[in-house]
Amino acid sequence: MSTPSQQPATQATHWPAVLIAIFAGAAGAFCLGKVPAVLGLLRQELGLSLVEGGWIASAFNSLAIVLSLFVGLLLVRWNALQAGVIGLLLLLLGGALALPAHGLYMMLASRVIEGIGFLLVSVAMPGMIVSLACDQDKRLTLSLWAVNLPLGAAVGMLLTPALAAVGGWRLAWLAGMALQLLALLLLLSCKAVFRQCNPQARPSTPQAAAPFAVLRQSAVWRYGLAFMLYTLMLWAVFVWLPTMLQARPELSTHTIALLSALAVVANIPGNLAGAWLLRRGMARDTLICTALGLMGLSGLLAFWPGLPADAAYLLCLLLSFCGGAVPPAALSSAHGLSRGPVQLAVLQGYFVQLANLGQLLGPLLLAALVAGSADWSVARSLFLAGTVLAAILFAMQPRSH
């Protein structure tokens, strides 16, 4: 008899349903990119202070840091498909709540509901993906899942300003809701396939009884901390890149937004390259350590004193691309480290938690280093420290899991 996370080995991977699950994750990640892209417009229209705007922008990170590890426990009650559907419904509800908003509290409530929906989709879809893949494709499909976050965030960053210029920020919110509704309908269409691959609709009692036992493994902590280092360095660049580009008077606001989004997009081919290298047999620890090292080196050189602006920007693109290999390597480890869908969801929640902690710390640390100065070169110490920490993290455990 098969378990919820393992269908018969003779069954082929259902790639259309796997891609739908990845699309569902990207539709949720759209919410990550939409607010930063029009935060100035939101503040102006809703009469928000800088601090209030910061609350709205950081709602996702704060929720993920506090709740993501525990959201996976909901899979004791729901299977992965049900949790994904409920998550998308919450995303739609949160988006709809923002449409009539005229102040802080309604918008903040909208972001909280969207954040919970995003977390549900984020922890549920990997379990669904694993259940739809044959044994030899499980790690590959989890590696490809890593594409959802930069893809959705980049689409949000690119589409939101353009749509807001045409019909205001509410039009951009409606566009995101349309993507989420499409993802919901496609996910519901996978119901028969999911049931076929999961004869048991719910996790068994032993799996439900010890969901946090998965966190006792040293490899889990190593990959989680590596994921945090990755997002710390990446988002330090993503958040402050538009500000750095504004120092170049020849660049228009539209060009700055486009160049900033391109830095996010550069992460996607890095995700795919990481998945390919894993498929070709590269050791997971070697790939993560190399990717983090190249990220740190790229950041160190990008902030080198006197470096031409164009070269610095290209190095930021390189940092994003090289770092893209980390998520598929870290996330694909979940299949071998977890037992059953609940542990898999808890492990994904743990990765989301540390990733969001890195997203929060990276921009703050870089800002603290620069401290209002026009000299961005002092930020290179952040990337030097990231490189050293990555080397220490993997020096004692060279073997992949």
- At 317-340, the pLDDT tens digits run 999 999 999 999 998 888 788 777
Residues 6 or more apart whose CB falls under 8 angstroms from that of 396 comprise none
5 located within any domain: no
354 located within any domain: yes
Buried b (16+ CB within 10 A) or exposed e, 308-341: eeeebbebbbbbbbbbbbbbbbbbbbbbebbbbb
Q: What rounded mean pLDDT belongs to the chain?
A: 84
- pLDDT confidence of residue 252: 81
The enclosing domain of 210 has a CATH number of 1.20.1250.20
Domain count along the chain = 1
Domain of 49, in residue numbers: 15-395
Residues 6 or more apart whose CB falls under 8 angstroms from that of 295 comprise 230, 233, 234, 319, 322, 323, 326, 383, 386, 387
- pLDDT confidence of residue 8: 45
Q: What average pLDDT does the segment 185-192 reach?
A: 91
In this model, does residue 400 exceed pLDDT 70? no
Q: What are phi and psi of 6, to 5 degrees?
A: -140, 115
- Residue percentage of the chain with pLDDT more than 70: 92
7 located within any domain: no
319 located within any domain: yes
As beta bridge partners, residue 6 has 3
29 located within any domain: yes
226 located within any domain: yes
Q: What is the pTM of this model?
A: 0.84
In this model, does residue 92 exceed pLDDT 70? yes
- pLDDT confidence of residue 261: 84
Residues 6 or more apart whose CB falls under 8 angstroms from that of 345 comprise 71, 72, 73, 74, 75, 80, 83, 123, 124, 126, 127, 211
297 located within any domain: yes
8 located within any domain: no
In this model, does residue 186 exceed pLDDT 80? yes
- pLDDT confidence of residue 314: 94
